[in-house]
Amino acid sequence: MSQDVFNVTIFGLKDLEINRVAFQIGDFKIYWYGVLIMLGVVLAFVYALLNSKRFGIDNNRMLDVVIVSLPVALICARLYFCIFYGNITEFFNIRSGGLAIYGGIIGAFIAGVIMCKIRKVDVLSMFDLASLGFLIGQAIGRWGNFFNQEAFGSEITWSTWFGMSSENTGGKLVHPCFLYESLWCILGFILLHILSKHRKFKGEIFLSYAAWYGFGRFFIEGLRTDSLMFDIMLGNKLVSIRVSQLVAALSFVIAIVLLVVLFIKNKRGHLPRFLVPDNALAGDGISDKDVSADSSDAAGEGQSNTALDSDESGVPSDSYIDNSAAIGDDLSSAEYNEILDEIRNENIVTDGEYTSESKGDKPLDGISEYNNYDSNISEKSGESPDNDVNN
């Protein structure tokens, strides 16, 4: 693209002079496209840092994952573009531009899985958090297409003001697809951010992202004039299909099916244990034992009438539950400990030791205390003590 300045008309605002060069150092030009992509990356990372604890992810470990995943994503985005839209020999000619979002997403998630395994970060929780970051990055990055005057849609003939025109559109009024997708991603981020505070299972936000983005991209891609196409024979007829539209449709359908299945399993109490979210107060998101210890510390700090039973090193003793399997598979250790804290808060004594009416003043380990309390409640209600825990 040789032209740097465009005269743009958008939604009735005429003759806007849009320069795709943000600034210049000597002969080296820095384009708005790259600036906006990096701004999106930075804001996505800041959001991740501020919200990682809600997903049970340690910031230091997350940083290690991002440091590797980000360059891999950029390389894959460039590679995808060169293979399907350009020429593979132009891969290193980055001054000519060209990135494809699907290539970036694929690369980021492949590298993310590998790094999460190496750094012992919960993969699905990381995917949930990364999905929100992708929406931030996409919402901002799409404005790079505006400055480049590219990735626009078909001509608009039903209005004299709605749409966008410039030298690159041949002076015709066209659909500003960059704007549609940016607004779609902003709305998606707001909705999924709210949903993330009520996450029912790990992977829920990631699947919701795939469904949301796939649904919107399917229709927006249908408006674009620069889509990558491939031809297939249907009967005796040759049909052209947009690659990105097909990927979007598949993403939407697969994500919706998985969401419905997992919501049903969660409602029936049959959700696989590895999908149950760790306590939001946990700081690492690595294992039940780590989550248990961190959530217990946080619970102790947040409740002034609760003392944490621990040894001199600050590690919780066996008065807390670090193996939820000893009780049942319905909840994680962190969730059992949260219930245990509530039980103990109702029966606090002045020296900081916990008591319950079934054990007197003699401290019990967390599993015994939970089971004793559960037995007492069940006997009063006439139910079997373990009918909720072991089924």
Same structural domain for residues 29 and 178? yes
DSSP-assigned states of every residue in 10-63: ETTEEEEEEESEEEEETTEEEEHHHHHHHHHHHHHHHHHHHHGGGGT--HHHHH
In a domain, 168, yes or no: yes
Tokens 């002969």 label which residue? 27
Residue ranges making up the domain that contains 137: 5-57+122-198
- Among 83-97, 128-142, 290-304, 327-341, the range scoring the smallest mean pLDDT is 290-304
Of 158 and 87, the structure prediction assigns the larger pLDDT to: 158
In a domain, 69, yes or no: no
Same structural domain for residues 191 and 288? no
Could you give the CA distance from residue 167 to residue 164 in angstroms, rounded to a whole number?
11
Q: What is the average pLDDT score of the chain?
A: 79
Same structural domain for residues 192 and 287? no
Q: Would you state the structure tokens that stand for residue 73, as one six-digit string?
A: 């994503």
State mean pLDDT over 75-80. Answer: 88
Could you give the CA distance from residue 94 to residue 104 in angstroms, rounded to a whole number?
15
Same structural domain for residues 173 and 288? no
pLDDT exceeds cutoff 70 at 235: yes
Of 328 and 126, the structure prediction assigns the larger pLDDT to: 126
Same structural domain for residues 24 and 164? yes
Of 304 and 157, the structure prediction assigns the larger pLDDT to: 157
Q: Would you state the structure tokens that stand for residue 366, as one six-digit string?
A: 């967390």
Which of 179, 198, 217 is the C-terminal boundary of a domain? 198
pLDDT exceeds cutoff 90 at 94: no
pLDDT exceeds cutoff 50 at 190: yes
pLDDT recorded at residue 228:
79
Contact 108, 73 (CB under 8 A): yes
Which of 164, 198, 232 is the C-terminal boundary of a domain? 198
Same structural domain for residues 175 and 286? no
Give me the percent of the chain exceeding a pLDDT of 70.
69
pLDDT exceeds cutoff 90 at 40: yes
Give me the percent of the chain exceeding a pLDDT of 90.
51
pLDDT recorded at residue 344:
59
Radius of gyration of the chain from its Cα atoms, rounded to whole angstroms? 27
Four-residue CA torsion sign, 47, 49, 52, 54: negative
- Among 74-78, 84-88, 271-275, the range scoring the smallest mean pLDDT is 84-88
pLDDT exceeds cutoff 70 at 192: yes
According to the 3-state scheme, what is the secondary structure of 309-340?
A: CECCCCCECCCCCCCHHHCCCCCCHHHHHHHH
Of 9 and 98, the structure prediction assigns the larger pLDDT to: 9
Contact 214, 220 (CB under 8 A): no
Same structural domain for residues 190 and 307? no
Query: Given pLDDT bands bounded at 50, 70 and 90, which one contains residue 186?
Result: very high
In a domain, 326, yes or no: yes
- Among 84-88, 162-166, 338-342, the range scoring the smallest mean pLDDT is 338-342
pLDDT recorded at residue 90:
78
Could you give the CA distance from residue 98 to residue 76 in angstroms, rounded to a whole number?
11
The model's pTM: 0.69
Question: How many structural domains does the chain have?
Answer: 2
Which of 182, 198, 214 is the C-terminal boundary of a domain? 198
pLDDT exceeds cutoff 50 at 279: no
Q: Would you state the structure tokens that stand for residue 384, as one six-digit string?
A: 């079997």
In a domain, 116, yes or no: no
Q: Which residues contact 194 (CB under 8 A, 6 or more apart)?
A: none
Q: Would you state the structure tokens that stand for residue 355, as one six-digit string?
A: 């008591």
Same structural domain for residues 53 and 147? yes
Same structural domain for residues 47 and 145? yes
In a domain, 219, yes or no: no
Same structural domain for residues 170 and 304? no
State mean pLDDT over 254-274. Answer: 93
Contact 296, 316 (CB under 8 A): yes
State mean pLDDT over 73-85. Answer: 85
Tell me the residue ranges of DSSP E strands in the chain.
Answer: 5-10, 13-19, 21-25, 28-31, 164-165, 229-234, 237-242
Residue 263's Cα: distance from chain center in Å?
18
- Among 89-103, 208-222, 342-356, the range scoring the smallest mean pLDDT is 342-356
Same structural domain for residues 17 and 162? yes
Could you give the CA distance from residue 167 to residue 8 in angstroms, rounded to a whole number?
8
In a domain, 386, yes or no: no
pLDDT recorded at residue 303:
41
SS3 354: strand
Picking from 127, 107, 104, the residue whose alpha carbon sits closest to that of residue 205 is: 127
State mean pLDDT over 234-256. Answer: 91
Same structural domain for residues 45 and 151? yes
Query: Given pLDDT bands bounded at 50, 70 and 90, which one contains residue 359?
Result: very low
Tokens 């000519």 label which residue? 96
In a domain, 345, yes or no: yes
In a domain, 338, yes or no: yes
pLDDT recorded at residue 96:
67
